[in-house]
Amino acid sequence: LNADEYRSFVNEIAKTNPAVAVNASRLGSANTNWQDLIYQNAWGTDNNLAFSGGVKWLPYRLSIGYNDQNGIVKTNSFKRTSVGLNLNPKFLDNHLSVNINAKGTFTDNRFVDSGVIKAATYFDPTQPVYSGNPKYGGYYEWTDPNNTNTGLNVNGTSNPLGLIDGIHDVSSAWRGLGNIQLDYKLHFLPDLHFNVNAGYDYSKSDGAKTVSPIYRAGIADLGTYNNYSMEKKNKLLETYFSYLKTINSISTTIDLTAGYSYQDFYTSIPGSITFKGTCQNTSTSNFETKNVLLSFYGRGIFTIANKYIISASIRRDGSSRFYNGTKSNLWGNFPGVSVAWKINEENFLKDKGIDALKLRAGWGVTGQQELPTLDTNKPRNYPAYAAYNMSFDGAQYQFGDQFFFMMRPEIYNPNLSWETTTTKNAGIDFGFLKNRVTGSIDIYQKDTKDLIVDSPIAAGDLSNHNLLNVGNMQTKGIEGSITIIPIKKENTTWEVSFNATHYKSKITKLINGADSTYRILVGGIDGGVNNTVQAHTVGYQPNAFYVFQQVYDSNGKPLDGVYVDRNGDGKIDVNDRYYYKSTQPDAILGFNTKFTHNNWDIGLSARAVLGNYVYNNAASNSSIQSLTTNNYLQNVYSSAANYRFTSPQYNSDIFVENASFLRLDNVNAGYNFKDVFYKGSNIRVYAMLQNVFVITKYSGIDPEVFGNIDNGYYQMPKVYSLGFNFQF
């Protein structure tokens, strides 16, 4: 609500609510739009320079880049400098090709505190930005006369501008990537190639977070300072044989590949100390982890008479994430096979105006070994192995006046194994009118087994949750695309493309014997303790919303805290929650078009997502209670003024909103000035607009929210770009 709407709402409620009447006296006279004050129009520039040529026998390409970008939240910024070099020499009478790539980047970041956007949303809009005195950096903050230490109301929303000025978090990152690829064509058998690809990716980042003692964020600790760093080393070694032979007499091609791959991922996060002005410093322990992925693979593609294509493959992958002291769950075998028939190559379709018509069918198994992380920066790589880790900060053991980190056992699952997905698909590709109409249609079914889920477990173990292979899921879908070229002339071309996807997923198993009465609660929300609004349950889509059914009066107004007694037992409890809607859309549509005329080109792309739902956590967090809490006022979502709920109704289905949308993603136009300096030189000038508009009924900021739970996030900006490309 803006300031006038908020004052009106508070004063109206105060007439009948004594608690609100007490807080109404705290209303200010200002009209402050806090979101306008934290957001800005951000400017950026992206510059790239590339040289290519050759020095005798050594072809090269050298590129240099610099990117400088401000964020849409004030003080947020990103700068990157990059250098890349590519060398492509050949030896042994061109039998040995060498491709060397090296790239280095240096990045500077300044981060915005994660609470700034939420503070701007909820801070009382009737209060001024500044208090008129130098305390708390001069910013208006909620105070409490009973707090003799800092004078602050510790429950009050922070002034968002005080957070921006009071917290300085910067980091620098160095990254170097290099790889060398060798392709040796055997002298005695030129159709057989031996390939080696070795790569190394090293990155190191260092940062410092300073919280000023002047502002609210640091006043209790008299300021803090923390240095942090992280180092990553990733290695790759891949070797494989490839054999490609074409037998022209029967129009048949044989393509065989067999190889081995080794990948090594290492992360190190040194422990750090947070220095506080109160000298009550805190520290974290060192963290170090590595995981390895090994792969053996083979593939064969046989094209017979240029009509029939048979492909088969097999992979055997081993992940250290499933190592439990033995090799029982380490390895997974993933086969696949597909067939295709180019019907247009048959004589009965020759010269019938059909340029392409191919039937396809396939079956294959893939493996999943990615796991949830412990936190943002610390991957969880040994969940199947019994191990000890250092205790967390705040859980040290006291000896006298000193505190010590202790080793404590970690929860683990020795039976954890690969999550596998078996996919069956069939499709058709087509092309007509000299390929001015082309497209494809595919239908598929995916059956996923042994889903890896961070699942609640029975009390009495080392934790209340663990990574388990808990169930199966089935997905059925259809997708299609079509490209039409209405105009195709010497100097003018117009191309239009459409695509559409529809799919449905259903959980078919969770644990042995589980039915629709067993569920795994997921979808944690902001507000309350351990509140969730989604669940995994047999017979339903994954992440289905699990909520109460709201009751309305005869005028269509929701009744405060009144829900449908769905099981008829005369009371409302968790057993009355039901599965309502899903995060999965009914359809995903795409549209692209490009028009060129002489030296001009114009294009756009758009998407529509239909039938997906989002839980509006920003709205569910707002109620009349927001006006009565702990001697301060906080702004509310507009729905609070409409619904008049006295307290947050987190589990009401009223906050599960239809988030269908149509988004125009990109519009671009360009012009090529040819032969500007000399014949073959070119200057291209182009303009582009990204995230042009969104049409949706969703009441939140944006209908595209990760996880389909909207509780405040860094918004997707609208970007206007002007670019110049010089080639000479």
| CA-wise closest residue to 405 among 283, 227, 273 | 283
Token duo for residue 8: 């009106």
The CB-side HSE value for 96 (13 A sphere, CA atoms) comes to 7
Query: How many angstroms separate the Cα of 524 from the Cα of each of 125, 180, 651, 709?
Result: 29, 45, 11, 9
Give CA–CA dist 389/285, Å, rounded.
10
Helix (H, G, I), strand (E, B) or coil at 355: strand
Nearest to 631 by CA among 160, 25, 29, 159: 25
- What's the rounded Cα separation, in Å, for the pair 61 and 110? 32
The Cα 701–Cα 35 span in angstroms is: 12
95 with 193: CB under 8 angstroms? no
What are the b/e assignments for 189-205, b being 16+ CB within 10 Å?
eeeebebebebbbbbeb
Residue of higher predicted confidence among 521 and 447: 447
pLDDT of the residue at 406: 84
Residue 304 tokens read as 């017979």
Residue 605 CA to residue 667 CA, distance in Å, equals 7
Quick check: 377 pLDDT over 70? Answer: no
pLDDT at 374 over 60: no
Tens of pLDDT along 242-291? 999 999 988 899 999 999 999 999 999 998 999 999 999 988 888 899 99
Structure tokens at 571: 């009371």
CA distances from 350 to 182, 305, 428 (A): 43, 15, 18
Cβ atoms within 10 A of the Cβ of 92, count? Answer: 10
CA distances from 653 to 335, 558, 639, 650, 659 (A): 44, 11, 14, 9, 14
With beta carbons less than 8 A apart as the criterion, state whether 302 and 253 touch.
Answer: yes
Give the CA-trace dihedral at 700, 706, 712, 713, to 10 degrees: -120
Distances (CA, A) of 157 to 583, 629, 706: 31, 11, 25
The continuous run of DSSP H or E covering 485 comes out as: strand 472-488
State the chain's mean pLDDT as an integer: 93
pLDDT of amino acid 615 = 97
Q: H or E stretch including 237?
A: strand 224-247
pLDDT at residue 529, rounded to an integer: 80
Question: Per-residue confidence at 17, pLDDT binned at 50, 70, 90?
Answer: very high
Tell me if 341 sits within 8 A of 359, measured CB to CB: yes
What is residue 393's DSSP assignment?
T
Q: Which residues contact 209 (CB under 8 A, 6 or more apart)?
A: 167, 168, 169, 224, 225, 226, 228
- Give the confidence band of 699 by pLDDT, cuts at 50, 70, 90: very high
At 398, the amino acid letter reads Q
* SS3 assignment, position 344: helix
Q: What is the mean predicted confidence (pLDDT) over 327-346?
A: 93
Percentage of residues in the chain having pLDDT higher than 70: 99
Token code pair at residue 638: 């507009």
Nearest CA to 248 among 301, 190, 186, 303? Answer: 303
pLDDT at position 253, please? Answer: 95
Contact indicator for 577, 548 with CB cutoff of 8 Å: yes
The share of the chain scoring above pLDDT 90, in percent, equals 80
The type of residue at 603 is G
Q: Which residues pair with 179 in a beta bridge?
A: 101, 199
Does 100 have pLDDT greater than 90? yes
Q: What is the pLDDT of residue 398?
A: 84
The whole-number pLDDT of residue 313 equals 98
Q: Specify the higher pLDDT residue, 350 or 653.
A: 653
Residue 555's Cβ-count burial label (10 Å; 0-12, 13-18, 19+) is: exposed
Q: Does residue 528 or residue 574 have the better pLDDT? A: 574
How would DSSP label each residue in 36-55? HHHB----EEEEEEEEEEEE
pLDDT of residue 534 exceeding 90 = yes
The residue ranges of DSSP E strands in 248-378, in sequence order, are 252-269, 273-276, 282-283, 287-304, 308-319, 331-342, 354-368
What is the phi-psi region of residue 190: left when phi exceeds 0, alpha when psi lies from -120 to 50, beta otherwise?
alpha
d(CA 154, CA 142): 8
- 549-572 pLDDT, tens digit per residue, is 999 999 999 999 999 999 999 999
Over residues 306-320, the pLDDT tens digits come to 999 999 999 999 999
Residue with tokens 């026998």: 57
HSE on the CB side for 717, CA within 13 Å?
A: 14
Separation between Cα atoms, residue 178 and residue 686, nearest integer Å: 32
- Is the distance from CB of 150 to CB of 220 less than 8 angstroms? yes
Radius of gyration of the chain from its Cα atoms, rounded to whole angstroms = 31
Is the pLDDT at 126 greater than 60, yes or no? yes
Q: Please give the Cα distance from 615 to 580 (Å, whole number).
A: 11
CA distances from 443 to 315, 334, 395, 401 (A): 24, 21, 53, 68
Query: Is a pLDDT exceeding 60 seen at residue 712?
Result: yes
DSSP string over 491-516: SEEEEEEEEEEEEEEEEEESSTT--T
Question: 97: which strand partners?
Answer: 90, 183
Longest C-alpha distance within the chain, in Å?
A: 95
Q: Which residues pair with 198 in a beta bridge?
A: 180, 237
pLDDT digits (tens, 9 = 90+) for 580-609: 998 999 999 999 999 999 999 999 999 999
**Which pLDDT score is estimated for 34?**
97
User: Using an 8 Å Cβ cutoff, are 92 and 64 in contact?
Assistant: no
167-181, 321-335, 394-408: which is most confident: 167-181
DSSP state of 634: B
Q: What is the pLDDT of residues 511-527, one digit of tens each?
A: 877 777 888 899 999 88
Residue type, 8: S
* Phi and psi at residue 58, to the nearest 5°: -115, 100
pLDDT over threshold 70, residue 456? yes
3-state secondary structure of 466: strand
DSSP notation for 532-574 = EEEEEETTS-TTEEEEBPEEE-TTSPEEEEEE--TT-SSS-SG
> Predicted confidence band at 378 (pLDDT cuts at 50, 70, 90)?
low
Has residue 365 got a pLDDT over 80? yes
Check pLDDT > 80 for residue 121.
yes
Q: Is there a contact between 637 and 125 (Cβ–Cβ < 8 Å)?
A: no
- What was the pLDDT predicted at 393? 66
Q: Give the tokens for residue 40.
A: 């800005």
CB 1 within 8 A of CB 10: no
Integer CA distances (angstroms), 267 to 109, 178, 234, 379, 411, in order: 20, 18, 9, 8, 21
In the block, which residue shows the tokens 């490209």?
483
d(C-alpha 337, C-alpha 361), whole Å: 9
